[in-house]
Each structure stands twice: as C-alpha cells, then as structure tokens.
Amino acid sequence: MYKGEDSFGRLEGSYELYKAEADTHFKQHDFVNAIACFTTALQLRPDDRICLVRRSKCHLMLGDTAKALQDAEASLLEDKNYHRGMFQKAEALYNAGDFEMALVYYHRGNRLRPELLEFRLGIQKAREAIINCVGTPDRVKLNTTGDLSFFNAQDEKKKRKVFGSACVKRPQQVVRRKKEKPNNEMTIKQMLGDLYGDRQYLEKLLKETDNTSLTGKHINRLVQDGLHYLDTRTEFWQQVKPMYARKYEAILALNRGRQAKTSPYDHIVGELEKVNKLMHENNYEGVLKKCQRVMGTLDSISEVHLPNKMTFKAHIHSIMGNAYLEMGDYVNAAVQHQMDLTIGEEVGIDDAECRALDNLGRVHARNGKYQKAIDVWERKLPKSKSTLETTWLCHEIGRCYLELGQSRSAKEYGERALQSAVEAQDDRWKLHALVLISQAEVKSQRLSSALISFEKAYEVAGLLMDEEAQDAITKAMNEVNMKVLDREIEGGEEVDPVYRADFEKWKAEVGESGKEEQTAPAAEAKVEESDQKPSTQLISAAATSVTEKS
C-alpha cells in the first residue's frame, strides 16, 4: 500500500475528486460521463444521498426513468423526509407517466417545505396531466333522454333479489381513456415540434449508414439511441397532453375567440420565476424593477381570487431586501426585511417571520450594527427548526459578540454552536465553532486554552482536507505561541536562546502596526472563505467574516 492510499488502494480524497468531476460533466450536459463519475463516487460512499439525487437527474435527462426512480428511492432510505430526494422521486414518477403517485410526492414535499416553488409547480403540472388523461366532469353533460328500458330492467332484477343473501361489492375501477399511441406522422410532428426535423435527419442517416464497417456500426448505435429517446419523449408528451386534450383546448380557444387567460396564481408564480432568474444573473436593479411591478399587480388582485396574496407580498419584500443588501444599500434592505417580518407576524406566516429575522440580522451585521444583529438573531434562536440552523445562529451571534469585544459571551455561543454542530454531524461547522472559541480565548488572554482549541480546529480541518484553513490556523498558533513567549520574557523566566531569536524576529516583523491583533480574525476569514457547503453562503462583515444562510 502506497502513501496516501487506504486499505483498499484508493487515493485519499478521491471521493471529492470524482464528485467534483461529475458535477462539471453535469453542468456541461455530459450526462453519460457524469453518471460514470457519480457511480465511482458512490462506490466510495454508498449512502451519499446528494450523489444519488444528482445521478437520478442524469438518468432522467437521458430518459431512463427506471434508474432515475431507483436512485431517488435510494436517497430516501435513511431519511424519508429528505426533500430533494422526495422531489426527485416525484419527477421520476411524473416522467414515467405515473402522474397520481407523482402528485402524492409533490404534496408531501410541499407540506415539508412549503416555501419551495418547485413543489407547487409540480402539483400544478401533475394535476394538469391527470385531467388531460382522465378528463373532467364538466366535459361530459348527461341527460335523461333516450331509451332507458335497460336501466329499468336492471332495477327490476335488484328488487327480485332474496333479502339476507350475502352481497359482495366489487371495487369500482376508474374508467380511463385509452392512451393514444403516436402512430402517424402528423401526431408525431405535433408532439415533437422543432425536434421533428431532428428525427427526420436521424432516420435518413440510419438508412444511409453502412453497417458493415466498425464506424458505421457505432454511428448506427448512436442513431438508434437518439431515435429511441425521441420515441419515448413522444409517448410521454402524448400522455401528458393527448391529442384529444389539445383539440379540446383549441376548440375552447376558438369559442372564446382568444387564448385562455392565466390565473392570478399562475401569473404571479411565472413572474417570480423571472425574478429568480434575474437574481441568479446578479441583475439587482432589474430585480427591484420587476418586484415593484409584481407588487403593483398584487395590489390590484383581491384575496378572493388569490388567497395567498400576503404570502407572495412577504416573499417579494424579502427578495427586494436581498437585492438592496447585495447593492450595499443597508437602509432600504432593512426596511424591506422589516416589512417581510411585519406581514409574517400580522398574518401568522411562520416561514416569513423566520426568514425575515435571519435576513435582518445579516443586514445589521453587514452594516456593523452588531448589537442589533444579536437582538434579532436571539429572537430567531427559539424558532430554529434544525440543529444545523441553531449552529449557524449561535456562531453568528458569537461572531457579533466578538466584534463588540465581549469575549466571554462570544465563547459561550461558540460552545453552543460546537455542541449543535456535533449533534448535526457537520465537520465544517465544527471547524467554524472551534475557531470562534479560539478567537474568544485569545481576546480574553487565555492563550493556553486558545492553543488547545486551535489544535482541535486543525484536526477538523485535516479531516476536511482543507489545506488553506490548516495553513491559516498554523499561522495563528505560531503567533499565539509568540505571545506566550513574550509573556514569559516579561515575567523574567528563562527562555531558550533559539526561541528568543524567533521571538525577536517575529516582533520586528509585527512592529507597531498591531497586526498581531488580527491573527485570529484572519484565521476565521480563511476558514470562512474555504467553506464550500452548498446550503450556506459566507460573506464578510467589517474585519471578519459573517456567514449567510441561504
């Protein structure tokens, strides 16, 4: 076994390498290679639910709904309430044509995470697919005209039945319309749309390719895979919206003389999707303009037509607050998040209230108003819904206390953050908490305790294979050692000449600029910058880093 390998001969850190490579292939839409890399990563960590969900997405993009469903179910084995796995299972069921079960899982996910738009959109599209498959009662008008003698005869038979006889009721079967298979070119053309030209090209290429050569066989296999994918997509789109449903919608549109109007709910959801896209593009001015227009639209709609109107308004205030925060306008950011909080408290929207408290604390911390940030986050702390969220809040409150020079309170919250991080089994937040504790101990001149905490943080950084954080912590430990040596020299204790020479060199480098006071914050900043945790975005505030929870 070579150095750097485990007992199975695998290189250390190979899991992270394969996962990162798979993510790169996924972003480049190279789903085949992404699946291969995710599979290798899962061989190293078979229970990694994030890899399972992402591999399921790759299978889904390639049209393999069976394998996509298998991976989605595997991600739910340990935690049935894992919302990403639940959403992926619903997507796999939907693409497999099992719209009823997909609707069930969309509803379950929406109950767990009602703030996520993807579950609400899933509910809507699953309902539409079911209606298109089985129809709605308003499309069928029954009347009593015609020959009813058959039903009268049936009633007479029922009356002649012997009373007291055992009667077994058979379960009624739901009558479904037969699924139309796209068996003619006109139907296929309507289903594929722009992809119909690609299908014609592949069919022509299949006829003209020579299958005798090795290259020809390879091309033939690729063409057949492409045609198979288009055929499966055609059948799926035929299930989602069959031809009779399309014709029915066309007739309704002609009778009204115009296309069907979008409901207020659908309109607002569509506008919010555009806002989210602008936010991802960092177009914050465009976000503000779009939000103001959507807010005007909401004001013109009554709550009778849009029952969750106030929920939408609170969400828009939150988005505007985040946009102002990214633009550095802390005053308007605080105003918008305060309005989000007011709506949440008055209407009783717990998610809006918790979200607003989080964001208000971030605004005050970014603006250097640490006491206000502490007050807001301490209000949020009892409302925490998970140990990881408690870890984040305690860490941020401790950071603010450290900025105010209250090292004792900073250490207390750092220890609370460490305890929650241990319960959540999150090594990254254990590292943050240990660095915070070390900083507090340095501030309170408890240098020996600070060294012990820094050593623990160094060990956790080693487990995370974060070399940058290890380097920053090592530098901080060296400077704390120099401070300990300085204290011993001032106390008249005998010091080894080599250590004394190192101390004199360090003192000359530091000079009178006071850089030694920035040692622990610098270590914290390095640790914060190296954090690549998907669910947490880290930002800086004043001379330190204040984390931001997404």
- pLDDT at position 149 is 63
CATH of the domain at 421: 1.25.40.10
- pLDDT at position 511 is 53
Give tens-digit pLDDT for 480-501.
877 776 666 665 555 455 445 5
Q: Check whether residue 226 and residue 237 sit in a common domain.
A: yes
Helix (H) or strand (E) holding 540: strand 536-541
- pLDDT at position 156 is 62
Q: Check whether residue 541 and residue 407 sit in a common domain.
A: yes
Looking at 256, 282, 303, the residue that finishes a domain is: 256
Whether 144 shows a pLDDT value over 70: the answer reads: no
Residue keyed to tokens 């038979």:
157
Mean pLDDT of 501-515: 52
**Within a domain: 223:** yes
Confidence of residue 335 (pLDDT cuts 50, 70, 90): very high
Q: Check whether residue 29 and residue 91 sit in a common domain.
A: yes
Mean pLDDT of 513-536: 43
- pLDDT at position 9 is 46
Q: Check whether residue 289 and residue 357 sit in a common domain.
A: yes
**Closest residue by Cα to residue 266 from 242, 299, 297:** 297
User: The dihedral of CA 249, 252, 256, 261: what is its sign?
Assistant: negative
CA gap 373, 400 in Å, rounded = 7
Whether 357 shows a pLDDT value over 50: the answer reads: yes
With pLDDT > 70 as the criterion, what percentage of the chain qualifies? 69
Least confident of 59-63, 388-392, 478-482, 541-545: 541-545
The three-class DSSP label of residue 539 is strand
Q: Check whether residue 60 and residue 132 sit in a common domain.
A: yes
Q: Check whether residue 119 and residue 48 sit in a common domain.
A: yes
Whether 7 shows a pLDDT value over 90: the answer reads: no
Give tens-digit pLDDT for 166-175.
444 444 444 4
**Within a domain: 357:** yes
Retrieve residue 293's tokens: 């227009």
Q: Check whether residue 488 and residue 422 sit in a common domain.
A: yes
- pLDDT at position 359 is 92
Rg over CA atoms, the chain:
32
Q: Is this structure's pTM higher than 0.85? A: no
Give tens-digit pLDDT for 372-387.
999 999 998 888 888 8
Retrieve residue 246's tokens: 């399309």
With pLDDT > 90 as the criterion, what percentage of the chain qualifies? 20
Between 136 and 271, residue with greater pLDDT: 271
- pLDDT at position 517 is 45
**Within a domain: 100:** yes
**Within a domain: 180:** no
Q: Check whether residue 374 and residue 494 sit in a common domain.
A: no
**Within a domain: 28:** yes
**Within a domain: 178:** no
- pLDDT at position 60 is 87
In single-letter form, the type of residue at position 295 comes to M
Give tens-digit pLDDT for 454-467.
888 888 888 888 88
Q: Check whether residue 441 and residue 458 sit in a common domain.
A: yes
Give tens-digit pLDDT for 398-453.
999 999 989 899 999 999 999 999 998 888 998 999 999 988 888 888 888 888 88
Stated length of the chain: 550
Per the structure, the complete domain to which residue 112 belongs is given by 15-136
What is the DSSP secondary-structure string of 73-110? HHHTSS-TT-HHHHHHHHHHHHHTT-HHHHHHHHHHHH
Between 498 and 193, residue with greater pLDDT: 193
Q: Check whether residue 59 and residue 96 sit in a common domain.
A: yes
CA gap 351, 345 in Å, rounded = 10
**Within a domain: 9:** no
User: Taking phi first (over 0 means left), then psi (-120 to 50 degrees means alpha), and beta for anything else, what does residue 465 get?
Assistant: left
User: The dihedral of CA 169, 170, 172, 175: what is its sign?
Assistant: negative
Looking at 344, 360, 383, the residue that finishes a domain is: 383
Confidence of residue 241 (pLDDT cuts 50, 70, 90): low
Confidence of residue 158 (pLDDT cuts 50, 70, 90): low
- pLDDT at position 175 is 40
Q: How far is CA 254 from CA 137, 243, 257, in A?
A: 21, 16, 5
Give tens-digit pLDDT for 244-253.
555 555 555 5
- pLDDT at position 338 is 92
Task: List the end-to-end C-alpha distance of the chain, in Å, as a whole number.
Answer: 42
**Within a domain: 126:** yes
Residue 286, classified by CB atoms within 10 Å of its CB into exposed (0-12), middle (13-18) or buried (19+), is middle
The three-class DSSP label of residue 468 is helix
Range with top average pLDDT, 104-113, 235-244, 260-269? 104-113
Give tens-digit pLDDT for 283-303.
999 999 999 999 898 888 888
CA gap 345, 298 in Å, rounded = 20
Q: Check whether residue 541 and residue 392 sit in a common domain.
A: yes
- pLDDT at position 322 is 93
CA gap 67, 52 in Å, rounded = 11
Q: How many structural domains are present in the chain?
A: 4
In single-letter form, the type of residue at position 405 comes to G
8 A C-beta contact, residue 395 and residue 547: yes
Residue keyed to tokens 């600029």:
513
Confidence of residue 195 (pLDDT cuts 50, 70, 90): confident
Looking at 222, 238, 256, the residue that finishes a domain is: 256
- pLDDT at position 243 is 52
Q: Check whether residue 38 and residue 64 sit in a common domain.
A: yes
- Residue 302 is classified by DSSP as -
Range with top average pLDDT, 1-5, 12-16, 250-254, 472-476? 472-476
